[in-house]
Amino acid sequence: MSPLELLVSILSFTIIINLLLSLRTLLKRPSKPYPPGPKPWPIIGNLPHMGRAPHKTLAAMVPTYGPLIHLRLGSVHVNVAASASVAAQFLKTYDANFSSRPKFSGAENGAYNYEDMVFAPYGPKWKLLRKICSVHLFSNKALDDFRHVRQEEVAVLTRALTRSGSDPVNLAQLLNVCTTNALARAILGKRVFGNGDGSACQESDDFKNMVLEMMELGGEFNIGDFIPSLQWLDLQGITNRTKNLLKRFDNFLSKILEDHKISGFDGGIHTDFLSLLIKMKDDVNAEGVKLTDTNIKALLLNLFSAGTDTSSSTVEWAIAELMRNPKLLAKAQHELDTVVGKHRLVTESDLGQLPFLQAIIKETFRLHPSTPLSLPRTASESCEINGYFIPKDSTLLVNVYAISRDPNVWSEPLEFKPERFLPGSDKANIDIKGNDFEVIPFGAGRRICAGMSLGLRMVTFTTASLVHAFDWVLPEDQMVEKLNMDEAYGLTLQRAAPLVVHPRPRLAHESYSNKYI
């Protein structure tokens, strides 16, 4: 048999197997109906309906099918929650049933085979990793202990921006250096990029590109995950790219881990998060779970990928929106000048006195959620939502993007209007920390983003600092009315074109070199 004949035979066998699986699914239909959704194609199901921007494609289905949509992607049942009320049922009423992750190749090949915190199944190992992070990195005490680090790194960023002179700067690059070094100093006790001058370098650009590639791959719908018999073909090349990307990340993380072990623990006194993790390796908790080097590297991968670019890109979106709305920018600067003045930089302790700035942050998260389509969850048991059958092992996706632009909830949902969150408005008391489902940029329930508190602090403080310290001007050949606001879809919502701008210092000269007071 020739190679071509062999390939044809294998594909024919694959088609027959998938037809039989589809027939079995039809014969096992439940007594209650599945939620409504577009008619699936044979074998491949609704995969062709997803498009290049699934969050937008799925949002466009809501007027036709309603806020609870059923899809069949290959052989996998997928349910999409696209309204606050439906999301609340999945993530609050039935949260325990949807607290685990489905198996898929991206986590297997790109997250150390589920040894991390983000993609780990719900269970003892996940609980241990989550508890360690919650207590030692993301608690209010830990965040307060490292407040000076965030303030110092943002001050470094402002000084770097003042040095730009007449040259425009790629704000995305410098924000990435700032957020990565701020996180690294909390985790590792040192910066990972640059010499402390805040400028981008080849290593920081390479790291950012690695994170962007991870987010791009994470947002792809891999055919092999939904049609397992085709997984070995890797038709889109996603599996091979993911494996190669993990090798690059592993080299970066392994060096960090080994260097930390060699340098010791500063005389045995815990000074950073990684030192604590290394010390905990020999401990076994009450459920017999202990950390391994792989767990530590997988956790570092989560923190450095999810905790850096999401924050920096949200700040970038906020500055872009304010540049398009100069009256809002002027109002925010007036508030900052009133509270802070023009002779020092903002501190985190000022943020509670800045209601308009806080409203800008909420509106940025509403209009540009960093994760527009939630990380998938899976049903541990069958259940019923809104009278529809949700089968066991089906996948849940929450369309955060659609929910925060729901015209039934938000007036002028496509407009950037921070005033909707100001005291006295009907949305003034909306919480974006997972309690009010109209805006859930960090998710909700048991699998809510572990780093939410840090992300909120970093985004709010960095945005406040940039708004206060600078006026923002586009390069001469660009008009603010035509600023590119297109999205580059991936696991996270990036700008299609980085924001390139001229920062113009607006504070007293000594402000940019003074220590915080």
Distance CA 515, CA 517 (A): 6
The answer to whether 180 and 192 have CB atoms below 8 angstroms apart is yes
The token pair at 329 is 């920018």
CA distances from 289 to 128, 278, 281, 285, 461 (A): 8, 15, 10, 5, 37
Torsion, Cα of 31, 97, 86, 74 (10° steps) = -60
Distance CA 65, CA 251 (A): 46
- In angstroms, how far is the first alpha carbon of the chain from the final one? 79
Residue with tokens 């390796």: 281
Distance CA 480, CA 482 (A): 5
Q: In what order do the strands lie in the sheet with 500-505?
A: 169-170, 500-505, 470-473
The answer to whether 119 and 101 have CB atoms below 8 angstroms apart is yes
Q: Is 133 annotated as a binding residue?
A: no
Distance CA 464, CA 467 (A): 5
Best CA proximity match to 188, nearest among 122, 93, 274: 274
Distance CA 254, CA 252 (A): 6
| Residue 461, helix vs strand vs coil | helix
The values of phi and psi at residue 29, to 5°, are: -60, 135
Q: Is 419 exposed, middle or buried (0-12, 13-18, 19+ CB in 10 A)?
A: middle
The token pair at 49 is 């309906």
Helix (H) or strand (E) holding 248: helix 238-263
Q: What is the CA radius of gyration of the chain?
A: 24
| Residue 503, helix vs strand vs coil | strand
Angle among Cα 371, 81, 434 to the nearest 5 degrees reads 55
The token pair at 477 is 């050949």
Angle among Cα 198, 330, 458 to the nearest 5 degrees reads 35
Q: Is 418 exposed, middle or buried (0-12, 13-18, 19+ CB in 10 A)?
A: buried
Torsion, Cα of 341, 344, 347, 349 (10° steps) = -50
The token pair at 109 is 């090949």
Alpha helices in 309-377 (DSSP H): 309-324, 326-340, 355-367
Best CA proximity match to 345, nearest among 178, 153, 140: 153
Binding site for heme: residue ranges?
449
Known binding residues are: 449
